[in-house]
Amino acid sequence: MEEWINELEEDVFELIKNKRFVQLKQLLSEMQPADIAEIFEQATDKDIPVLFRILPKELAAEVFVEFDSDKQEILVNSFSDSELREVLDELFMDDAADIVEEMPATVAKRILKNTDANTRRQINQLLAYPDDSAGSIMTTEYIDLKRTMTVDEAFDRIRKIGFDTETIYTCYVIGSRRKLFGTISLRDLLLSGKDEIIGDIMDENVVSAHTLDNKEDVAAMFERYDMLALPVVDSEGRLVGIVTVDDAIDVIQEAASEDIELMAAILPSEKTYLKTGVFETFKSRIPWLLFLMISATFTGAIISSFEARLAQCIALVAFIPMLMGTGGNAGSQTSVSVIRALSLGDIEFKDIMRVIWKELRVAVIIGVVLGVINFIKLYLVDFLWLHTFDTGAELVEMATICLTLIFVIIVAKMLGAALPIIAKKIGLDPAVMASPLVTTILDAVSLLIYFGIAAALVL
């Protein structure tokens, strides 16, 4: 997919260089908005408005939506009021609200000034919903029908207002004060007789979301119910907007990225990798690194407190990284599995005992298998071959290492299972309980187990 866009880019810039604008317009009008936006973003800030004006009106608006907010700002500033109104007229309400939200105050004000009172009211209403809510991703334009309409009348209405709505494939049947009674798909309308009454053929079992529902839960409903659009109602059951499947896909990808970033001790950002500046990247990474570095003071303190005894039994020091590493890996395997399952809605708080019981059994099997393999390896490689152990207590030392390994794996998997579920229960993002934090806790725990067993058996 990547090569042809590079070729197209060359073609476009070749045509620009030679000022062959007629051919350029022809070429661009055959391209998809996302591709045009990607190519235009390579142009200089001065050229972008020039290129943009070559596009046919409707396509121009679609390309505008695909630009990142920096480029949108450049464009808006280059527009005359009438050009701005032309683009705004073509936008869907949710896109318009997103753009206003991203712009600096003065630019946002100018945009709102150039919309009619009704649009302005709807944009402001959308902007008022919290960032993570269904309200923030819905659009306010949809096909509304009445129960008393015939199929034929419904088609008349779709033809009348269908140009301005994001989807016409699901229609919403509402009563007085916009109360939602049911939905009907365009497919069902098309496959029904012309004189049938909407109220008789509509689907009354409507899956809907509340304006304040979490947008990730809303996106999950699309996956579960295979929908193209979802109605959003307020607390009185009135239809206030719809969420379309393309926006749900964006939420799904964002949520996955956010989980992955949190799991790697990064503060989530909305920009793509190459568009995030060095300082921004620094800011998203330093907090957790700093916190985890400082936390590692505990592991240091534990080692220091055993310092005198460790000096006499330095062979054991060599196995600290292996024990900590295996514990950390075992723990993050579990925490990450549990976090993902929580995100996908496969488990919830009431399953905590099932999860712990499952992980306990997995941990015991893994612990014993790794413990035995490790003992064999210690005996063959470290004892017989490398002579790491020459203290006279080699069997006890090897047993210490393997016993520690088993206990560390069990503790690691128990913590990895419990912490994310508890985090979610107390309102934290479970993804925070992934590898880095769990690993840091486990490092300290592993050392305590190691030195505890060593103290009992060896030291």
Interacting positions 345-384 with its own copies (CB under 8 A): 345-348, 351, 354-355, 358, 361-362, 365-366, 369-370, 373-374, 377, 381-382
Is 56 in a helix, a strand, or coil?
A: coil
**Of 126 and 209, CB closest to its own copies:** 209
Shortest spacing between CB 40 and its own copies, in angstroms: 15
Residues written for the chain: 459
Tell me the closest approach of the beta carbon of residue 120 to its own copies, in angstroms. Answer: 25
Q: Is residue 69 part of the contact set for its own copies (CB under 8 A)? A: no
Alpha-carbon span 70 to 92, nearest angstrom? 20
* Per-residue b or e along 153-169, where b marks 16 or more CB atoms closer than 10 Å to that residue's CB: bbbeebeeeeeebbbbb
Stretch that binds its own copies, among 78-86, 97-105, 171-179, 263-271 (CB under 8 A): 263-271
Footprint (CB under 8 A) of its own copies, residues 398-457: 434-436, 439-440, 443, 447
Is the dihedral angle over the CA atoms 32, 70, 101, 107 positive or is it negative? negative
Does the protein bind its own copies through residue 168 (CB under 8 A)? yes
Contact region with its own copies (CB under 8 A), list: 79-87, 125-133, 235-243, 278-286: 278-286
Closest CA to 331 of 454, 414, 253: 414
Written as six digits, the tokens of 127 are 């902007």
Question: How far, in Å, CA of 120 to CA of 394, rounded?
Answer: 79
Rounded-to-integer distance, Cα 211 and Cα 178, Å: 15
CB of 85 to its own copies, least distance (A): 23
Site for its own copies in 29-48 (CB under 8 A): 30-32, 34
Window contacting its own copies (CB under 8 A); options: 46-54, 99-107, 117-125, 292-300 = 292-300
Q: What gap in Å lies between CA 263 and CA 83, rounded to an integer?
A: 45
The answer to whether residue 261 forms part of the interface with its own copies (CB under 8 A) is yes
Q: How far is the CB of 363 from its own copies (least distance, A)?
A: 9
- Asked if 26 is part of the footprint of its own copies (rule: CB under 8 A), the reply reads no
- Report if residue 205 touches its own copies, rule: CB under 8 A: yes
Question: To the nearest whole angstrom, how small is the minimum distance from the Cβ of residue 280 to its own copies?
Answer: 10
In contact, 378 and 401? CB cutoff 8 Å: yes
DSSP three-state, residue 193: coil
Q: Compute the least distance from the CB of residue 110 to its own copies, in Å.
A: 27
Which CB, 108 or 186, lies closer to its own copies?
186
Question: Is residue 402 exposed (0-12), middle (13-18) or buried (19+ Cβ within 10 Å)?
Answer: buried
> Given candidates 99, 123, 320, 402, which one binds its own copies under the rule CB under 8 A?
320
Q: Which two tokens stand for residue 20?
A: 């062959």
By CB under 8 A, tell whether 317 contacts its own copies. yes
Q: Using the rule CB under 8 A, which residue among 53, 109, 113, 159 binds its own copies?
A: 159
Compute the CA torsion angle 426, 430, 436, 440 (nearest 10 deg): 30
Shortest distance, position 109 Cβ to its own copies, whole Å: 29
Question: According to the binding rule CB under 8 A, does residue 257 interact with its own copies?
Answer: yes
Give the three-class secondary structure for 36: helix
Of 104-133, which residues contact its own copies (CB under 8 A)?
A: none
What sign has the CA pseudo-torsion 439, 441, 445, 451?
positive
Q: In Å, what is the CA distance from 289 to each residue of 219, 281, 397?
A: 32, 13, 34
CB closer to its own copies out of 108 and 220? 220
Least distance from C-beta 106 to its own copies, angstroms? 30
User: Is residue 296 a contact residue for its own copies (CB under 8 A)?
Assistant: yes
- Kindly state whether residue 263 participates in binding its own copies, applying the rule CB under 8 A: yes
**Partners of residue 209 on adjacent β-strands:** 232
CB 71 within 8 A of CB 48: yes
CA atoms of 74 and 99, how far apart (whole Å): 13
Q: Which range, of 9-17, 112-120, 126-134, 213-221, touches its own copies by CB under 8 A? A: 213-221
Which member of 260, 393, 399, 459 binds its own copies (CB under 8 A)?
A: 260
